[in-house]
């Protein structure tokens, strides 16, 4: 592809909160792709002429800024790295005639009720749901849903503000708590919140790539520690999946149906599904790759290239590789108590556990750490590889137990 044999150029839309700029820039270097970045604040890793400042909350003007940058230095692809940038990337790529997701499909992945309605219209299996507006009486609203319920903000990600409600008398206080979390996150506390039927059962994530709407599954991650609430902190992801091959086929087929219903067309997707009483139901689909630094748990092709390199390869029209057949996993190190991070001990002991490949602490000393559901941040990430998924799971649990976190209240 590329411009007349020149180096291919890719524009990344990176919100400031993302951990992943470094991984993408490293991948671009090894592929020989030039990277420009659209971000909400300057990226120290790049020269000023290869970045543009945008405000993701203003998608139209941000997309125009991307198109203006591309007018002076043409780009081959625009890739959103995080949820926040998916609409901006779609609008800009549409304007420039590059492969893209329809902006309305990208927007639907950012609004949980819009997504639920599209899935409902296409009769894709999902939890039953209702919307609770600021003036609605929640009790009257949800009589037709059975308990337990899960209450969620429409636009936050990473389990932030997602809370299970066991019985009707707890609904009102939970909705008020979710509204406070939305306000703290800079959202409108009066926006409607989603109440949906809680689905018991195993949760999995499907990582895939779309080319002209066709899904290629890169990996299915089991979440062996995903509990049944009241909060839904992401912790352990292990691949390959231990579910029956027929269930895995069903997970892939349901993800494709969900993607079709939403209208997504191009690039990475991250879908979450639950297996309830042998049936697969869609929890949500994001128009981006797996969050945080979880992608580091996957390697592709004979050379073991990174997920970021795979995303860049697809964006410039190169073939995808298959995931290496090893078992691998990542544990997002949870924040067990809120407070100011003083120090983290035991990292060397954790690294020394056989099978552990890396530990990365992303929280910096002195920062205030809140817990899920108030927060969507993690202490860091722990990685392992092994012969079987269960070995990887045991390795990660063993190593995590050696890490001690010291927080103080002031």
Q: How many residues does the chain have?
A: 410
pLDDT at 3: 47
Other CB atoms within 10 A of residue 32 CB? 10
Per-residue pLDDT 10s for the chain (410 aa) are 444 457 899 999 987 656 678 888 889 998 999 989 999 888 777 888 888 899 988 999 999 999 998 888 889 999 998 888 999 999 999 999 999 999 999 999 998 899 999 999 999 999 999 888 888 877 777 676 788 999 988 877 667 888 899 988 888 888 889 888 888 888 888 888 999 999 989 999 999 999 999 999 999 999 998 767 677 777 899 999 999 999 999 999 999 999 999 999 999 999 999 999 889 999 999 999 988 788 899 998 878 889 999 999 999 988 888 888 899 999 988 777 888 999 999 999 999 999 999 999 988 888 888 877 766 677 889 999 999 999 999 999 999 999 998 988 87
Superfamily of chain region 128-197: ATP-grasp fold, A domain (3.30.1490.20)
In this structure, which CATH number among 3.40.50.2300, 3.40.50.720, 3.40.50.300, 3.40.50.20 belongs to the domain 9-108?
3.40.50.20
pLDDT at 23: 87
pLDDT at 41: 85
pLDDT at 18: 62
pLDDT at 5: 55
- What does the alpha-carbon distance between residue 286 and residue 268 come to, in Å, rounded to a whole number? 9
- Buried b / exposed e over 383-405, threshold 16 CB at 10 Å, is bbbbeebebbbebbbebbebbeb
pLDDT at 1: 42
All structural domains of the chain with their residue ranges: 9-108, 128-197, 330-410
In this structure, which CATH number among 3.40.190.10, 3.40.50.300, 3.90.1170.30, 3.30.360.10 belongs to the domain 330-410?
3.90.1170.30
């Amino acid at each position: 592809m590329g411009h007349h044999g020149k180096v291919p150029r890719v524009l990344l839309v990176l919100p400031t909160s993302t951990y992943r700029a470094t991984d993408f820039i490293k991948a671009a270097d090894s592929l020989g792709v030039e990277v420009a970045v659209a971000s909400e604040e300057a990226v120290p890793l790049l020269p000023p002429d290869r970045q543009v400042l945008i405000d993701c909350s203003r998608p139209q003007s941000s997309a125009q800024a991307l198109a203006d940058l591309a007018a002076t230095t043409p780009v081959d692809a625009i890739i959103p790295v995080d949820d926040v940038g998916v609409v901006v990337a779609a609008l800009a790529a549409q304007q420039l005639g590059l492969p893209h997701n329809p902006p309305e499909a990208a927007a639907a992945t950012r609004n949980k009720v819009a997504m639920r309605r599209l899935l409902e219209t296409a009769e894709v299996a999902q939890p039953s749901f209702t919307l609770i507006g600021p003036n609605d009486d929640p009790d009257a609203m949800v009589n037709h849903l059975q308990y337990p319920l899960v209450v969620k903000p429409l636009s936050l990600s990473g389990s932030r503000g997602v809370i299970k409600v066991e019985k009707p008398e707890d609904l009102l206080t939970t909705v008020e708590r979710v509204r406070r979390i939305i306000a703290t996150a800079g959202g409108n506390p009066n926006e409607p919140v989603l109440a949906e039927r809680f689905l018991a059962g195993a949760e999995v994530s499907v990582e895939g790539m779309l080319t002209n709407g066709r899904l290629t599954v890169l990996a299915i991650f089991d979440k062996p520690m995903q509990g049944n609430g009241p909060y839904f902190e992401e912790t352990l992801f292990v691949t390959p999946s231990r579910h029956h091959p027929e269930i895995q086929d069903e997970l892939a087929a349901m993800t494709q149906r969900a993607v079709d219903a939403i209208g997504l067309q191009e690039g990475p997707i991250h879908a979450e599904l639950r297996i309830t009483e042998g049936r697969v139901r869609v929890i949500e689909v994001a128009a981006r790759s797996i969050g945080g630094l979880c992608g580091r748990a996957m390697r592709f092709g004979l050379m073991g290239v990174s997920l970021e390199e795979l995303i860049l390869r697809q964006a410039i029209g190169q073939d995808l590789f298959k995931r290496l057949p090893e078992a691998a996993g990542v544990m997002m190190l949870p924040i067990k108590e809120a407070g100011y991070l003083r120090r983290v001990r035991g990292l060397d002991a954790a690294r020394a556990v056989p099978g552990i490949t890396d530990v990365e602490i992303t929280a910096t000393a002195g920062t205030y750490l809140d817990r899920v559901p108030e927060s969507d941040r993690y202490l860091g990430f722990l990685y392992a590889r092994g012969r079987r998924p269960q070995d990887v799971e045991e390795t990660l649990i063993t190593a995590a137990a050696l890490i001690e976190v010291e927080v103080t209240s002031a």
